[in-house]
Amino acid sequence: MPMLTYPTDPLLPQSLAQKMFDVPDEDDLIVLVTALTSQFLAMTNRVRINSASVTETIRLPLSTPCLYLHAHLDTSAAITVKEYTRGALARTYEKTTDFVAEANEWSARLDMLASSFAAAGTGAYTTVEYTGGWSSLPGGVLAGAEVQGRVMLKRLKGDAGSRMRSHRQEKKAETDNRGIVREAADLWRPYVVMV
Q: By the 8 A CB rule, do 47 and 134 touch?
A: no
Q: In this model, does residue 39 exceed pLDDT 70? A: yes
Same-domain check for residues 57 and 127: yes
Q: Measured in Å, how far apart are the chain's first and last C-alpha atoms?
A: 40
Host domain of residue 39: 1-50+136-158+179-195
Mean pLDDT of 29-36: 94
Is residue 9 one of the residues assigned to a domain? yes
Q: What is the pTM of this model?
A: 0.84
Going by the DSSP 8-state scheme, the letter that residue 45 receives in this structure is T
Is residue 174 one of the residues assigned to a domain? no
Q: In this model, does residue 166 exceed pLDDT 80? A: no
- How confident is residue 183, by pLDDT bands cut at 50, 70 and 90? very high
3-class SS at 172?
strand
Q: How many domains does the chain have?
A: 2
Q: Which of 1-5, 93-97, 162-166, 169-173 has the highest mean pLDDT?
A: 93-97
Going by the DSSP 8-state scheme, the letter that residue 50 receives in this structure is B
Same-domain check for residues 28 and 74: no
Q: Taken in order 187, 191, 194, 195, is the CA torsion positive or negative?
A: negative
- How confident is residue 119, by pLDDT bands cut at 50, 70 and 90? confident
**Angstrom distance (rounded) from CA 36 to CA 188:** 12
